[in-house]
A and B are shown apart, each in its own frame.
Chain A
Amino acid sequence: MGKFLLLAFRNIFRNRRRTLMTLLMVGGGVAGLLLAGGYFAFMTRGLREDTIHNGLGHIQIFTAEHFRRDEVHVLDTGIDNWRQIAGNVSTGGHVRSVAPRIEFYGMVSNGSKSSVFMGSAVDPVAENSLGFSPRLTSGRDLSGKPNGEVEALIGAPLAKSMNVKVGDGLTLLAVTTDGALNGVDVQIVGIVNNGIAELDARYLRITLASAQRLLQSDRVTNLVMGLDATENTDMVAAGLAPRLKGLPQEMVLKKWIDLAAYYKQVRAMFNGIFLFMGIIVFFMVLMSSVNTLLMAMFERTREIGTMLAMGTPRGWIVALFMLEATLLGLLGAAVGLAGGNLLGVILNASGLHMPPPPGYTVNIPFRVLHVPSMMIGASILVVMSLASASILPAVRASRLQIAEALAHV
């Protein structure tokens, strides 16, 4: 086996220029996949952490009723004894904090113009302890201890639409849990730009206490949990499930991935593009390698005839060609891994930025992640491609007529 491997290895370097070209092509394919995949991984990881730290959190707790039916009135599927539940789940390991939220909607008016808002009511102290801070373009965040005024943050496009700035007042109108219309005057303390234009055009945030007063309810929509690391989400969720059983209200627990619809769409799109690129690289390597390996086979026709004449089993000839192609694939993958990772380091150090993607308003930094599973996958892909490319030349070589092969010039 050792000598057979040695023969295959030496055969690779018979025609050094051709081998170099093949290695560059295979390596280029691997490097291309690593760079594209590394960039996609950076984008999806960034989007994941953005999604989580922009307020989604790692785990959210709702009443089961919340998902069974639409609310007739605001908060009628909300959580009653949320303080007890928050206290219970916050004692688990890896939990940084638990923040109550109310999601509501209504109309906002400056006296002469009205617009729809999608409101979020939060406990500023709990949000801050989770590191959830709004992306302020001006002003400040909500205060944990307001001095009588109802404070509000609004999205930059909404502020522009309502022609208001920090320090100005607005009136919020919303339907209470009883179905009555209630209103409250708020003072704008900050303007927010989340980077997603459609969200910012409806964005409004007030404190939990203010929202409960506006909606005439002590309930909250959900509890948002922040963990020490995203990777611990599954473990913590599994540990929490038993604690939510036997409560007066049936509760359900949702992991961030269950709620991050946009993230899943983007990830699916990147996966689709990456798969497509992988298929292209596979066939590019396959088609060009078939030609190269066939040339090698024709050049060695007499040698193959000699080996067959000496009683070498035809299966060995097939194995030899496939082994050579596999070794070539491994070498090409090594070249690609080295080149791709080096290029990735250089690009990361260059500080490049990409234009904002659709729906975003800020430039995205260009970074390439070095993902071990992607390196293994890309290497296996090109090795398989080359091994597949060798099947035709290998079978042809093994089927040579010995007498004809020996007479080959």
Chain B
Amino acid sequence: MKLNDSLVSVEDVSRKFPLDHSEVTAVDQVSLRVTAGEFLAISGPSGSGKSTLLNLIGCIDKPTTGRIFIDGTDTTDLNASRMTELRRRKIGFVFQTFNLIPVFTASENVEFPLLVQGIGARERRQRVADALESVGLSARARHRPDLLSGGERQRVAVARAIVHRPALVLADEPTANLDTHNATQLIDLMRDLNRRFGLTFIFSTHDARLLEHTPRIVRLTDGHVESDSAIEGDSHGQVLAASVS
């Protein structure tokens, strides 16, 4: 895979955090390439560096060493405002705890990234309606988050992440706070969006239910890539087996 073909290219990236008088290495010399349209899981036990790697790819943290390219842009040397601009245009986020704005309705939450982009009211309305429809929540558009179930909140979060048509959606443990039924629905939804719209999903998880639907799994252990089971033509089961073997 060439660099030019990659939507995301992580090159020999490390992230160290100071701890008392020493350092903790959360991500250690990780290299990874993701092409547009992939549905990729980063798995591993707690503390393996999944969230840190997602933060680095999402441009909300900077690597200590190494370089990260998003859609051909080297993010390493970008200043804060260019990083903000990159996140605003190219990346959508889904969080474990949904992180919806509680005083906004579902549709207003979905609308927020478009407001930040300065998109006009008419187009905003149309895109919000489309996004909510694509996650099956058109009927709940006027409800505030506290009136929605956990699964519905996370689907609103997914709609918010895709409404501005980003190149990449990053989801940090998206099913961790959901029961099996809602988790399964969310997984199906994300996979469906990936297939229908060619949206690239990178998510961290150790949820086996989600991994079963994932064609490519990168397994981290102690900040290292232990395995990257992207085997062309493999079934989900084979990929999952490869990732945990």
* Contact between chains at A11 and B103 (CB < 8 Å): yes
In chain B, positions 64-119 with a C-beta closer than 8 Å to chain A are 80-81, 84-89, 91, 93, 95, 97, 99, 101-104, 108, 111-113, 115-117
Report the count of interface residues on B (CB-CB < 8 A).
Answer: 29
* Contact between chains at B84 and A303 (CB < 8 Å): no
Give the residue of A303, A308, A310 whose beta carbon is less than 8 angstroms from that of B113: A310
* Contact between chains at A3 and B113 (CB < 8 Å): no
* Contact between chains at B115 and A4 (CB < 8 Å): yes
Task: For the complex formed, measure the closest distance between the CB of A277 and the CB atoms of chain B, giving whole angstroms.
Answer: 36
User: With A306-B93, A309-B58, A402-B60 in contact, do A316 and B116 touch (Cβ < 8 Å)?
Assistant: yes
CA distance A309 to B86 in the complex (A): 10
Task: For the complex formed, measure the closest distance between the CB of A11 and the CB atoms of chain B, giving whole angstroms.
Answer: 6
CA distance A312 to B85 in the complex (A): 9
Identify the closest chain B residue to A407 (Cβ).
Answer: B51
Looking at A10, A11, A311, the one whose CB has the most chain B CB atoms below 10 A away is A311
User: What 1/0 mask marks residues of chain A from 289 to 315 whose CB sits below 8 Å from any chain B CB?
Assistant: 000000000000011011111111110
CA distance A303 to B112 in the complex (A): 13
- List residues of chain A with CB within 8 A of the CB of B80: 314
- List residues of chain B with CB within 8 A of the CB of A14: 102-103
* Contact between chains at A403 and B88 (CB < 8 Å): no
CB of B55 within 8 Å of the partner chain: yes
* Contact between chains at A306 and B99 (CB < 8 Å): yes
- List residues of chain A with CB within 8 A of the CB of B113: 310-311
* Contact between chains at B103 and A311 (CB < 8 Å): no
Q: How many A-B residue pairs have CB under 8 A?
A: 68
CB of B61 within 8 Å of the partner chain: yes
* Contact between chains at A7 and B111 (CB < 8 Å): no
Give the residue of B58, B99, B104, B117 whose beta carbon is less than 8 angstroms from that of A7: B104
CB of A406 within 8 Å of the partner chain: yes
User: With A309-B93, A313-B84 in contact, do A406 and B101 touch (Cβ < 8 Å)?
Assistant: no
* Contact between chains at A310 and B102 (CB < 8 Å): no
* Contact between chains at B84 and A7 (CB < 8 Å): no
In chain A, positions 1-24 with a C-beta closer than 8 Å to chain B are 3-4, 6-7, 10-11, 13-14
* Contact between chains at A10 and B99 (CB < 8 Å): no
* Contact between chains at A311 and B84 (CB < 8 Å): yes
In chain A, positions 146-169 with a C-beta closer than 8 Å to chain B are none
In chain A, positions 211-240 with a C-beta closer than 8 Å to chain B are none
* Contact between chains at A311 and B99 (CB < 8 Å): no
* Contact between chains at B58 and A311 (CB < 8 Å): no
* Contact between chains at B61 and A303 (CB < 8 Å): no
**Could you tell me the dominant secondary structure of chain A's interface residues?**
helix
- List residues of chain A with CB within 8 A of the CB of B116: 310-313, 316
- List residues of chain B with CB within 8 A of the CB of A406: 60, 95, 99
Task: For the complex formed, measure the closest distance between the CB of B43 and the CB atoms of chain A, giving whole angstroms.
Answer: 20
In chain A, positions 299-349 with a C-beta closer than 8 Å to chain B are 302-303, 305-314, 316
- List residues of chain B with CB within 8 A of the CB of A309: 58, 60, 87, 93
Task: For the complex formed, measure the closest distance between the CB of A306 and the CB atoms of chain B, giving whole angstroms.
Answer: 4
* Contact between chains at B88 and A303 (CB < 8 Å): no
* Contact between chains at B60 and A10 (CB < 8 Å): no
CA distance A139 to B87 in the complex (A): 92
Task: For the complex formed, measure the closest distance between the CB of B121 and the CB atoms of chain A, giving whole angstroms.
Answer: 9
* Contact between chains at A7 and B103 (CB < 8 Å): yes
* Contact between chains at B95 and A311 (CB < 8 Å): no
User: What 1/0 mask marks residues of chain B from 141 to 171 whose CB sits below 8 Å from any chain A CB?
Assistant: 0000000000000000000100000000000
CA distance A313 to B89 in the complex (A): 13
Give the residue of A303, A316, A403 whose beta carbon is less than 8 angstroms from that of B60: A403
Looking at A11, A305, A307, A403, the one whose CB has the most chain B CB atoms below 10 A away is A403
* Contact between chains at B108 and A310 (CB < 8 Å): no
* Contact between chains at A311 and B97 (CB < 8 Å): no
- List residues of chain A with CB within 8 A of the CB of B95: 306, 406
Task: For the complex formed, measure the closest distance between the CB of B55 and the CB atoms of chain A, giving whole angstroms.
Answer: 5
Task: For the complex formed, measure the closest distance between the CB of B51 and the CB atoms of chain A, giving whole angstroms.
Answer: 8
CA distance A92 to B52 in the complex (A): 86
User: What 1/0 mask marks residues of chain A from 9 to 43 whose CB sits below 8 Å from any chain B CB?
Assistant: 01101100000000000000000000000000000
User: With A309-B87, A316-B116 in contact, do A303 and B104 touch (Cβ < 8 Å)?
Assistant: no
* Contact between chains at B101 and A303 (CB < 8 Å): yes
18 A-B pairs whose Cβ atoms sit less than 8 Å apart in the complex: A6-B108, A10-B103, A13-B103, A14-B102, A302-B99, A303-B99, A303-B102, A305-B99, A307-B112, A308-B60, A309-B58, A312-B116, A313-B84, A313-B116, A314-B84, A402-B61, A406-B60, A406-B99
Chain A contacts to B: CB under 8 angstroms: 3-4, 6-7, 10-11, 13-14, 302-303, 305-314, 316, 402-403, 406
The list of the 4 closest CB pairs from A to B, nearest first, reads A311-B88, A10-B103, A402-B60, A306-B99
Chain B contacts to A: CB under 8 angstroms: 55, 58, 60-61, 80-81, 84-89, 91, 93, 95, 97, 99, 101-104, 108, 111-113, 115-117, 160
